Chains A and B, each alone.
Chain A
Amino acid sequence: MSVSAFAELLERLIFTPGRNAKLALLRDWFATQPDPDRGVGLAALTEELVFTAAKPAMIRDLAAARTDPVLFALSHDYVGDLAETVALIWPERAGVNAPPPTLSEVVEALEVTPKAELPALIAGWLDTLDSGGRLALIKLITGGLRVGVSGRLARVALAEWSGKPVEEIEEIWHGVAPPYLPIFRWLEGGAEKPDPRDAPVFRPLMLAHPLEDRDLAALDPAAWRAEWKWDGIRVQLTAGPGGRRIWSRGGEDISGGFPEILEAMDFHAVLDGELLVIRDGLVAPFADLQQRLNRKLVGPKMLRDYPVGVRLYDLLFEGGEDLRALPFDERRRRLEDWVARFEPARMDLSPLIAFASVAQLGEVRDGARAASIEGLMLKRANSPYLAGRQKGLWWKWKRDPLSIDAVLMYAQRGHGKRSSFYSDYTFGLWRPDGAGGEELVPVGKAYSGYTDEELGWLDRWIRNHTVSRFGPVREVEKALVLEVIFDAAQLSGRHKSGVALRFPRIARIRTDKPASEADRLENLMAYVEAPAEA
């Protein structure tokens, strides 16, 4: 299939907000496209295949040679995006009857073509495509697709399309390279499941359910183990003769962002743990870790100012031995021994918390106020390590949220099903305005927590109390109080108020409370926690 089919998929994915619709589009792609193009397209979408063969400047030069400079400048100014401008302005040549290239032709040609011949090759392709195809091609070869399809979403789509469990696909995924021919053959029933052997692959994570009161009542302290629930990001460390990888919770390879961890992975094992910024033995707030996320490369300053470590809580493989079928207690013992033996740099054990009764555990949980702790993890002592969310084996027991009464300041429409509703709310708290009065300062944004009825009510209130509009945003009368709950308040230099909230959501609409009686910024600042002792 040609680049044109890929361009159509790309256009739909870019404009489609809904997850289910994205899955449907991907399933259709797998079902209708031939090999190897479906795999090449998939790898490009999930950015497992990234091209840097052509620089944006080369593309601009190609277009400049074919267009009037004044018209090009006016067009670029109007469209904004360079690749899109070139795709749209590219003059179609009469009499071109060469077929558009297939995705795999593009990939192969980029590999073998000498640099000096690239401009002519690319111009020739652009001549065969329509504007959508040209845009897809330019984005593809300059490494800027960015369509918001995660590897996880793609694997879920493959599972839905093929009927195979997504966990099985996850486990072999990173052992097979694009265009994934052995995987497609297996999914279509034409071959055995590929064996990744020594290749570093992602093992699907075991996930926890939120603990409900009735589950708590049934908990037998002797049969359960407790740990802190750390507020970092979950990672899986995989290292061995086949290579080293750091996987995110969704199975994305994030190794490049954390070279100091990768360097420390001088072992042959698969570990489960929490990635945290740890400074002088203290776990820093999540906002600090955020500085390190979504980076392909990190500079020396980042490494110095935001040092990361991994707090380990499970051992999945030791050497080549798969420990996942063993009970938790056994794996824990193996993990403790392993840490003692290897003493890996930048890694430590997530401690177990001793408790004799549920009541005692509740006290421990309530006493945990450090910003880096979200609550407790409860793991059944005899639980094997199973993929996915297994009920009754692991619980997460978050501490009770904090709460403030804030004033609604701005509202924005949502996406997809909520596109007709003002569903995203910016709220603020009072502080002195420096002139003897009070002013509201925004402290956060929430887009969940309310019921459908409350959403409808808020939507009407916002439409009837709008004081001004900026594009999609409405500023409202400062007259409505919302009770906002959140997991933690953390200092932040990036927010005007100086404070950032973790997981803010709307708990209640306080029509009973006048705006002047809403909380003040200092009430919120009192919630800001000191870093936790590591």
Chain B
Amino acid sequence: MPHPETWLRVTPDGLLCEPGGFFIDPVRPVERAVITHGHADHARPGHQAVLATPETLAIMRARMGEGAGASQQPMRYGEVLRQGEVTIRLVPAGHVLGSAQVVLDWRGSRAVVSGDYKRQADPTCAPFEVVGCDVFVTEATFALPVFRHPDPAHEVAKLLKSLALFPERTHVVGCYALGKCQRVIALLRAAGWDRPIHLHGAQQPLCRLYEELGVPLGELRPATVANKAELRGAIVLAPPSAIADRWARRLAEPVTALASGWMRVRQRARTRGVELPMVISDHADWDDLNRTIDEVGAPEVWVTHGRDDALVHALAGRGIRGRALHLVGLGEDEDEAAVPADEAPAA
């Protein structure tokens, strides 16, 4: 059985499956790309042929129009495709709508490229599926034992409690336009918040697309046209870069919240001027990264980006070989582009 190292290689363009002749989440335009999910650090414009879930392709079209790929091939979860001698299958990653792990089989050897993933429940996307493999390729965004995401319902309860205490103030929640925004809305609906939710202009197209793709979000209104009185006591969702900037001046004495896994660490919240940190993440936390690796049973784990040092150390203690791939360009979410470089990538 060939070791995956012999057929899955790190190149300057990204992770290359040599016998299949395609890249996974390449950072530069390539002939053939398999895309795990629609976030800008994974789905980049300009590829010739793109293979992804129908939802991911729809998200890419919404975000980059023609740049989404000259030829687009949708593949549902569980479908199987042969590309050269390689068998490709996409299974849910639980990260955002359409997010997939790429399961690759070649000559009896199996690698799973998981992209970004989480194990917490999320009503806006299909749950992560465990697939046993020889090599598991994982992210490590939150691979430090200080990152343990709390129950997101508890974080939303904090927001609603604050609204009860400050009913005159707009509560503006910074959240990434793809995935986090819709998840926060779904969490609010689950907590019984049935009033309209206001959106920054950047959040609207993907919310519309989610609804078209069958994820109900309730009544949404643009925050841009709402007058100040309407925004008293309202919840407004906006990109993280907007919550403390000029855009936010239209809001009524805003309480600024930020929904991100980084909010677990106080200094992160403080440097962003966040009044109400909400620890809600679409990435696996420390416990879930380790649990997932144990469940897939791979003797070897490759770490694409994040805190590979801590994760590789922890794996060594359990007899699992860890390898840091140092893939460049991952973990750089679009929403953080507007903040100083010393701050962390999105989550």
Contacts and interface: CB of A to CB of B under 8 A. Distances in A.
A469 B340 contact: yes
A85 B269 contact: no
A420 B271 contact: no
A16 interface: yes
A81 interface: yes
Interface in A26-45: 28
Given A68-B317, A131-B148, A25 B165 contact: yes
B277 interface: yes
Contacts of A131: 148, 150, 264
Interface in A42-101: 67-68, 70-72, 74-75, 78-81, 84-85, 88-89, 91-92
A419 B256 contact: yes
A15 B270 contact: yes
Interface string B274-291: 111100000000000000
A16 B166 CA distance: 12
A89 B314 CA distance: 14
Contact of B309 (A74, A85, A92): A74
A425 B300 CA distance: 54
A385 to B, nearest CB: 38
B245 interface: yes
Interface in B276-313: 276-277, 307, 309-310, 313
Contact of B271 (A16, A79, A470, A472): A472
Interface string A15-27: 1110001001100
B145 interface: yes
Contact of B150 (A81, A91, A130, A472): A130
Given A71-B144, A419-B256, A88 B314 contact: no
Residue from A12, A81, A413 whose CB has the most chain B CB atoms within 10 Å = A12
Interface residues of A, number: 39
Contacts of B256: 419
A14 interface: yes
Contacts of A513: none
Nearest to B256: A419
A493 interface: no
B265 interface: yes
Interface stretch (B112-120, B190-198, B246-254): B246-254
Nearest to A135: B266
A417 interface: yes
Given A68-B317, A79-B265, A15 B309 contact: no
Given A71-B310, A80-B267, A88 B148 contact: yes
A389 interface: no
B165 A24 contact: yes
Interface string B129-144: 0000000000000001
B273 A415 contact: yes
Given A71-B310, A88-B265, A420 B246 contact: yes
A15 B267 CA distance: 10
B274 A88 contact: no
Contacts of A420: 244-249
B146 to A, nearest CB: 4
18 contacts: A12-B276, A15-B269, A15-B274, A17-B273, A25-B165, A67-B145, A68-B314, A71-B144, A71-B313, A75-B146, A79-B265, A80-B267, A88-B146, A89-B145, A413-B244, A419-B248, A419-B273, A420-B246
Across the A-B interface, give the 7 residue pairs with the lowest CB-CB distance, nearest first: A88-B146, A419-B244, A75-B146, A89-B145, A74-B310, A419-B273, A15-B275
